[in-house]
Amino acid sequence: MAADTCCWPVIFYDGDRPVAISCITRYRADAGILTEGIVQKLIGTVREFLPSFLHLKIVFAGLPISAGQRGLLILQDTDHEAVVQMMDCALQDIAGRESAALIVLKEFENSDSSWTDQFSRELRYHKADSLPMNRLEPAFESFDAYLAARSARSRSSIRQSLRKLREAGCHVVQIPGGPEAIERFTDEAHRLYLEVREKSPAKLETAPVAFFHELSRQMGDSAHFTFIYQAERIVGVSCSLKYGNSYQLLFCGIDYAINDQAHLYFNVMFADMDYGLRQNVARINFGQTSDSFKVRLGCKQVPLNIYVKGRRIFRPLLWLIRPFVLPPIALLPPIETFSKKRPNASKQTPRDQPRSGNKLSPREQNSPRDQRPRDQKSHQSKDLSFNNCPSDHP
């Protein structure tokens, strides 16, 4: 996040009782982050001459990090309509004071639409697709159990990646947040994160090294860090959070100079998956990039929605360019890469039990977005290969 990023915690009360919470943030961001194809190339061409093109001051309802989290949380027994109206007033007030070009509420699942669509129905926001979340609903107690259930070919590929890490002289250190994590997350570790960020097509914010230190300090055991070293030199890093029944991968960094040799990116993901599986959580969120790789890991893509409103000249302009800057985003179809005979398949852990609230509503079941497979031909293979590192790391 930029040095001029500002945050305003917002709490809504019903009498003395808090019933909803949000965090409004303001920073400059790339308004063309969701564009694809020709439009994305055109924006890139313009930026060769005007580097700041479409980098606008935006007010967000949501934390200043990209984790696919809801930007507004409301208790079930609350007057949602009243909260939505007050949230819009708060956003409009701050956007006016900060001279923001856009207001964005991020990021909501389809199950939230019964109340979030009030923003588009009554308050003149544009509802649009955000990048989908790659989510794994664990059915295994550890990475070893997960690996044993893979098809023979994909199991061999994963083991080859693990072997490459060892042969490169690398070792993995995993620790919770706290003083040791702060000490290990050096400027060099932060540089690895910046390298990955620069290669990502979705650059919304840049977290400074102080962010990781404060996350480690304030979240304590809820934060988790993976460090990969080659001898004493750090070559890979990741940061994750456990909250409630979820495990969220936030950021990673790798040394591209030895990535092909050691399969660093894959091994960071494997290490984080192993830790997440052992936390007995209901879901592991792998982030919103490197979709093809993560779907092959067994993730399913969860559609997310945002609500966008333009201000001043950007209000009519947004109406005109909406199809280009807020295009529909198709989901990748799930891929079956597990063998038909899974070890201990009859044994259910608590996370394998049916969970209330996981059934799709009729709206979700019939969502056109869920039925628009993307790059179908490139996802037909039932085996997982790790010969090439994805180009759009999280």
Over residues 55-74, the pLDDT tens digits come to 788 899 988 887 888 999 99
Q: What pTM value is reported for the model? A: 0.80
Residue numbers of the chain with a pLDDT score lower than 50: 343-388, 391-392
Token digits of residue 293: 């790789």
Residue 74 to residues 60, 115, 206, 341, Cα–Cα distance (Å): 17, 10, 28, 43
Q: Which two tokens stand for residue 250?
A: 């936030």
d(CA 201, CA 34): 9
Q: Residue 3, Cβ neighbours under 10 Å: how many?
A: 6
Q: Which of 60, 116, 123 is nearest to 89 (CA)?
A: 123
DSSP string for 189-220: HHHHHHHHHHH-S-------HHHHHHHHHHHG
Answer whether 229's CB lies under 8 Å from 173's CB.
Answer: yes
pLDDT of res. 295: 93
Encode burial over 339-363: b for 16+ CB neighbours within 10 A, e otherwise: beebeeeeeeeebeeeeeeeeeeee
DSSP SS3 for 359 = coil
Position 49 scores a pLDDT of 85
What pLDDT score does 387 carry? 47
Domains by residue range for the chain, with CATH:
6-132+303-325 (3.40.630.30), 135-301+333-352 (3.40.630.30)
What's the distance, Cα to Cα, between the start and end of the chain in Å? 16
